[in-house]
Structure 1
């Protein structure tokens, strides 16, 4: 049985990722600064900004999935966010590479493109936004994600370790969170900053597992989003309302398609999101 260390497993996305790996036959160790509400595997409390502790928790692992971070801009002082997120990622990858671990997956973010937390009114240069779109963050959180992706390249160059960076969109982490959808799905002014994207935590978890199981990915960078937007308004109408100046559409938009492209993840990982907000709302 292969062992995977999952950092940040006690957070919003972590439980779904842990469950996905356990159900797929992996031995899982959760590493976090707090215990999970509903533990399903062993947890070690550690400070990953300490390199020695990163080494300690990774001994004997076959792969590492790094979720741990301050999860958004402005919830902590900007320097604290930057220092925590970059140092924890550096330490995990540095330790993993030096320990001979061959696979790592780190958590990047759609905020890397700069629109999510923009205070200057940044707009997308084209849609759907793919991984080649310029990264123009105005905040230390988005900047930390750029640094982390560069760190992944550095570690890969030195050790050959495969490091996949998943640019995760708005996570819907439990079925009950879909109860919020009817309150915003008909208002184009809601959720503009995230381009109305979302991803079910269970679908994201599958992407993490596939990123560990696939070979020869080097330092792939992949957007992870649902196939459709989180709105009950067609995507072209959303763009006309919120971003009328954006006219460069790289894919046909005929319905409710996502504006955060997941095409590359589908091609490279053979991944396909399963969960659709319309189906989940009906269940509630």
Structure 2
């Protein structure tokens, strides 16, 4: 199949593009290589995508450009069978500092993709959404019917994007699926995330820093589980028009997570605490019943197993990854 991955040099998009190329598909990546974090990580991701295509019958092409370039998006979407729309301005704290940038990229960019797609006979558009759309929990775990009251501009932008996708399905008949990811982590993850920060500091003999009192809980989802459900959607139309949670169902509080990383690397270290950051959600916990029913989704990696895998990967790739993490 011809697969377009917007934001395909980023963390999740990069893993998707690599997986599709490895499976023999023809992959086009659209990415503006925004230096939101060190682009060396994105360059390594692109290298792995090209290597995956070289080892299979697939193809991999990177086109540097922006999803807000409607003419370019029209051209690329018109040549695709399936679009995975991963391009976004990520980061809750970034959105608090500058709410207009995530709105421009996450909302206007999504509209460019959807407008281009409704003029074609695409199999589907798969949109990356986020658990940040839920905001303050009225109950846990979150199911897809839980009220959406985001507590950050980032969450608002993701909610708007997924609602546009839903409406384009209902009004124009465009096959869309929005996946609400719950804190995805794994190899080549963004360096300013909790797990990568904890691991980097501990390997350098520094205690992990917990923002707030550490009682905040997170549903961390390992990247392999996210790739699996996206691959399912290459040919599965059972979730068309739907918004679906993708999480691990396995929660952990941030203080326990920091201690887990610390104990695996250097139990002699303590924990440090700093002021909680504005816009951070108090709790996340996914109910994945809908994904299980529609797509047979079964998260396979517990947080403890996933953290251990990430630490192993980090140690093997420390020579190139760590300098980029420390610079970010």
TM range (shorter): 0.7 to 0.9
Q: Please name the residue that 2:275 is paired with.
A: none
Q: Is the 8 A contact 2:8 2:29 kept in 1?
A: yes
Shift of 1:52: 1.1
Q: Distance in 2 between matches of 1:216 and 1:282?
A: 34
- Give matches, 1:7-46, under 5 Å: 7-34=6-33, 36-38=42-44, 39=46, 40=49, 41-46=60-65
> How far did 1:151 drift?
1.1
In the alignment, which of 165, 172, 188 is matched to residue 178 of structure 2? 165
Q: Does 1:87 align with 2:87?
A: no
Match of 2:222 in 1: 200
Match of 2:214 in 1: 190
1:126 to 139, 144, 148: 139
Instruction: Report the number of matched residues.
Output: 249
Counterpart in the other structure of 1:264: 290
Q: Structure 1 regions of 5+ residues with no counterpart?
A: 116-123, 235-257
Q: Is the 1:178–1:280 contact (alpha carbons within 8 Å) kept by the matching residues of 2?
A: no
Gaps of 5+ in 2: 34-38, 50-59, 190-194, 257-283, 313-328
1:102 partnered with 2:123: yes
Q: Does 1:54 align with 2:80?
A: no
1:44 partner SS:
strand
Q: Please state which structure has a larger fraction of its residues in helix.
A: 2
2:111 is paired with a residue of what secondary structure?
helix
2:90 is aligned to 71
**Conservation of the 8 A alpha-carbon contact between 2:132 and 2:155:** yes
Rate the CA distance shift 1:8–1:175 in 2: closer, same or farther, 3 A. closer
Task: Give the TM-score taking structure 1 as reference length.
Answer: 0.78
Q: Deviations over 1:225-252 (max 9, x none)?
A: 1131235999xxxxxxxxxxxxxxxxxx
Contact kept in structure 1, 2:130 and 2:180, CA below 8 Å? yes
1:127-173 superposed Cα distances (whole Å, 9 cap, x missing partner) = 11111110001332211122112211222124322111011111113
CA distance in 2, matches of 1:277, 1:138: 25
> TM-score if structure 2 supplies the norm length?
0.68
Q: Give 3-state SS (helix, strand or coil) of 1:196's partner.
A: strand
